[in-house]
Structure 1
Amino acid sequence: MSKGDRLLSRPRLSAEHPIRIDDDTEARREVEQAQFTLALLRTQGDPDEAAVRKAKAALKRAEAKVRACYEWIPLRAMEVDDYEALVGEHKPRPDSADEIWNNATFPRACLLACDESGRSEADWEHIFKHVLSGPEQIQLCNTAIRLNVRTPDESLPKGWAQIEP
């Protein structure tokens, strides 16, 4: 597939946004211990393969415990035209800090349009009113917005796309 074909056939981006449901402190400790054990085994000159397999299995179990502490919200970017139409439906309010869209209505509307969990608008209203803190709401809505504006993954290191001459 050529570079041009790759761009033309690019799928809509998707992501899973984590919302912590249970305390993950102990599970994270287990992951750290399993990672440490695995790293220690790998630094040995001739590691015992059975011990390495056991350490890898322990790491997988610990990672699954951490993942189980979260509810994962599946999101998918809208078609570009649909996203632009949604932005147009939520115009900035005069005499406000709004710049691109109505900050009071657009973020939730974007989330609802991107949500693939099957939750209803009433479910989300309840979740926003009784379950999520303000910062959690902002993070969740920002994930939906980021998918649509297609910003690069924040975990990529600085300068990752620079090409050396």
Structure 2
Amino acid sequence: MRNLSFKILLFLLPIFAIGQTHFDDVSAVSMQSNELKGNSILFNSQKIREAKNAGMAFLSFEVKKIELDYTEELIPTSIEKIQLKENHCLITFSAPSNCGYSFLGEIEIVNDTLNLIYQGYGNNCFGNCLFSFQYEIQKDISNENILNLKYFMINGNLSTKTELSKKLVD
């Protein structure tokens, strides 16, 4: 009986070993396809889909680190520039964050306000740096649900709420 059990174990051992290796390879491939690298737009998020359905398409997201001398002074987040051209809008703002971070970008429409969302991720480094963020948004004039935005804000922070002087479409 012992000899039979040993033969069955020897027979099944390669099957278990190959099967386990196979499953490890498959799971490693799926993890790599969802890996985040660098600054990215969360294109398939619910907030972006809802904004697109309301007539606002998030086209591009750029982040640049601004070199500064070290200071202990807290630099506030603020919208610096809003450029309107036909159906396009470029919004630039600066915000402090961890120096080792990359960022994920989203937009969200809250009533008559476009909320510009960024989330840092990555290596946690000593100290904060100032970053310049640029969002490019396009308004779809053929959309029946089109919104007339009056304000912009950053990460839902009401102290950054800035009134838009004219509509996106002239």
Give the TM-score range, shorter chain: under 0.3
Pick the structure with more strand per residue: 2
Pick the structure with more helix per residue: 1
Q: Which structure has the larger Rg over C-alpha atoms?
A: 2
After TM superposition, the score normalised by the length of structure 2 is: 0.25
After TM superposition, the score normalised by the length of structure 1 is: 0.25
